[in-house]
Amino acid sequence: MIPLRWKELRFIVSAPEAEQIQFALASLHSRGWEEVNHGKRIEFKVWALDTETPEIIRFLSPLLSGKIREQKVKTEKWEKSWKAFFKPIQVGKRLLVLPSWMKPDKNEKRIKVRLNPGMAFGNGDHPTTQMCLLALEKNVQPGDRWLDLGTGSGILAIAATKLGAKEVLAMDEDPIALHYAKANREKNHLTGKIKLLERTRPPRARKFDGIVSNILAEPLVELAPSILSALKPGGVLILSGITREKAPWLIREYKRLKAVVLAFESRKEWVCLRLELHT
């Protein structure tokens, strides 16, 4: 059963401080947050499991001049609040990330990724998610088998399947994320094509035509040997969740394992890499 013990954390920062807080929250992979602009001050509302809030508070407190206010919140209230600002998002030339409760325009020709991320990462508006979607649009071939490592809401697995992948294995260590990924898989009628698995490392016995992983630089480096061993020769590797600052470190580690960077894209302070393994 998915626990309903959630907390909302509220705090206010100056506008120049807001970007640093955004990066800190993205690094923590918090369940979600909302920003309310009050002119020169930005109010943050951050939602997380009550077991996660002590770590978030310890992480954020040194960055804040004011206090963090806590209050309990139920899942239903969080989702109602969150739905107010989730709108359709066009990505690339072919994709439309569509809130699952909305109907598309009858003349809409784009591939529709129906989504309700709930409290899992990935609703299509973050630069790393959009860059991964663009890379999938360019690289998924009909009949491919893909691995989505750290699937979150399942958005990348769903997009890869709708772009032509025959089969996608979507993995995450977070059972809450898998709960929402399963629901989104069903909303897109892809139960038979996307397999969900609770684990952190790619399976040793499988080889994939492509792997996409939008997590963080540290686990991407730690898992590099496992990731590359699961990739077919000539296969496509798409990595994001990487800041500009940490990109050279990650590239160096993957090059050491005989991977070659084929493409480097950046938005704001985030990077997405496309690599290939040379044997």
- Say yes or no: 245 and 136 in one domain: yes
Give me the pLDDT at residue 205, please: 78
- Say yes or no: 79 and 132 in one domain: no
- Say yes or no: 64 and 146 in one domain: no
236 is a domain residue: yes
- Say yes or no: 149 and 270 in one domain: yes
| Averaged pLDDT, groups of 10, the chain, 279 residues long | 69 86 73 80 86 87 89 68 74 92 85 82 84 97 97 96 98 89 95 94 90 93 96 95 93 96 91 90
74 is a domain residue: yes
223 is a domain residue: yes
Q: What is the CATH number of the domain that holds 171?
A: 3.40.50.150
Give me the pLDDT at residue 253, please: 97
**Domain of 221, in residue numbers:** 126-277
How many domains is the chain partitioned into structurally?
2
27 is a domain residue: yes
- Say yes or no: 20 and 138 in one domain: no
97 is a domain residue: no
- Say yes or no: 135 and 72 in one domain: no
End position of a domain, from candidates 83, 118, 136 = 83
Give me the pLDDT at residue 22, please: 81
End position of a domain, from candidates 30, 62, 83 = 83
Q: What is the CATH number of the domain that holds 76?
A: 3.30.70.120
- Say yes or no: 271 and 133 in one domain: yes
- Say yes or no: 137 and 68 in one domain: no
10 is a domain residue: yes
- Say yes or no: 133 and 221 in one domain: yes
206 is a domain residue: yes
Give me the pLDDT at residue 132, please: 97
pTM comes to: 0.80
Q: Following DSSP, what letter does each residue of the chain receive, concatenated?
A: -----EEEEEEEEEHHHHHHHHHHHHHHT-SEEEEEE-SSEEEEEEEEETTTHHHHHHHHGGG-SSPPEEEEE-HHHHHHHHHTT---EEETTTEEEEETTSPPPTT--SEEEEE--TTSS--S-SHHHHHHHHHHHHH--TT-EEEEES-TTSHHHHHHHHTT-SEEEEEES-HHHHHHHHHHHHHTT-TTTEEEEE-SS--TT--EEEEEEES-HHHHHHTHHHHHHTEEEEEEEEEEEEETTTHHHHHHHHHHTTEEEEEEEEETTEEEEEEEE--
Give me the pLDDT at residue 1, please: 39
110 is a domain residue: no
- Say yes or no: 61 and 172 in one domain: no
